[in-house]
Amino acid sequence: MRPAEPARLLDTLLCCALIEARSCERMKLLSEQLPDAELAAFYKGLLACEARHHRVYVELAVELFGDRDAVLGRLEELAEHEAQVLAEPSPLARLHA
């Protein structure tokens, strides 16, 4: 994340959006793999919630910063950085990896 405002705020919002997107992916996997239909439906509902949370952070960033293309471009940059970090081996346990 960039250290100086207002870029720091934009990066914070977009990192939050990425966290929500990853939660969404986990809920999708659970909802598709669980043999218990009731539990699968529960996680499918959470999937929808996480997707909304992702959109809220992105839309808030667009509302505050005004330039949708620039916001989405920065989101892509942060997602690429995230992918690079996760591709590197780590000796530490990762809760959100």
Query: Of 45, 72, 42, which Cα lies nearest the Cα of 57?
Result: 72
Least distance between Fe ion and beta carbon 78 (Å) = 17
Amino acid at 53: H
Q: Which is nearer to Fe ion, 54 or 74 (CB)?
A: 54
Q: Which is nearer to Fe ion, 11 or 20 (CB)?
A: 20
Least distance between Fe ion and beta carbon 18 (Å) = 12
Cβ-closest position to Fe ion: 53
User: What residues line the site for Fe ion (CB under 5 A)?
Assistant: 20, 50, 53
- Inter-CA distances, 91 with 9, 62, 88, 94, Å: 30, 37, 10, 9
Residue reference for tokens 């293309």: 69
Least distance between Fe ion and beta carbon 82 (Å) = 17
Length of the chain (residues):
97
Q: Which is nearer to Fe ion, 7 or 49 (CB)?
A: 49
